[in-house]
């Protein structure tokens, strides 16, 4: 896939992990829209913060893609216990547009030497069969915005 024609529009499956402790990795689903590098969408994941209150968490995603570099902010809907702060994700898209790998972090307030106060690695993948379909849908959506 050429970088010029790259789009991240589509459904993704991912997992994020914690670097600082022995917490289990958390799987998530994401639905993203990418028009000319502007990203937005939603995520759903199990509630690992306070599962007794809600079993699943939803979040809004907003960010950008420049070539193969991706950055976005995830903000949980409803301000759940333990999920009050937005989470920043930074990563790189694979050449074929089916995988994003990178790191997530929550703030730098109080961190030493600008290191994230809390974070870890993440990876997201999408079905290669869906890539061509998602690109066609994104192209139709982009034309509708013009």
pTM recorded for the entire structure: 0.80
pLDDT at 110 over 50: no
- Distance separating alpha carbons of residues 135 and 115, to the nearest angstrom: 36
Instruction: Give pLDDT, residue 53.
Output: 81
% of the chain beyond a pLDDT of 90: 56
Length of the chain: 146
Instruction: Give pLDDT, residue 83.
Output: 79
Torsion angle defined by CA atoms of residues 47, 23, 124 and 55, in that order, rounded to the nearest 10 degrees: -10
């Amino acid at each position: 896939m050429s970088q010029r024609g790259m789009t991240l529009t589509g459904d993704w499956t991912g997992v994020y992990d914690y670097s600082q402790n022995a917490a289990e990795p958390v799987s998530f689903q994401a639905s993203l829209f990418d028009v000319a590098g502007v990203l937005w969408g939603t995520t759903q994941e199990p509630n690992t913060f306070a599962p007794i209150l809600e079993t699943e968490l939803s979040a809004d995603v907003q960010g950008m893609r420049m070539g193969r570099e991706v950055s976005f902010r995830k903000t949980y809907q409803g301000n759940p216990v333990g999920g009050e702060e937005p989470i920043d994700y930074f990563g790189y898209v694979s050449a074929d547009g089916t995988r994003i790998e990178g790191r997530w972090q929550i703030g730098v307030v109080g961190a030493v030497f600008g290191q994230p106060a809390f974070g870890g690695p993440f990876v997201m993948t999408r079905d290669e069969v869906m890539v061509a379909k998602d690109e066609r849908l994104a192209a139709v959506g982009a034309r509708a915005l013009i």
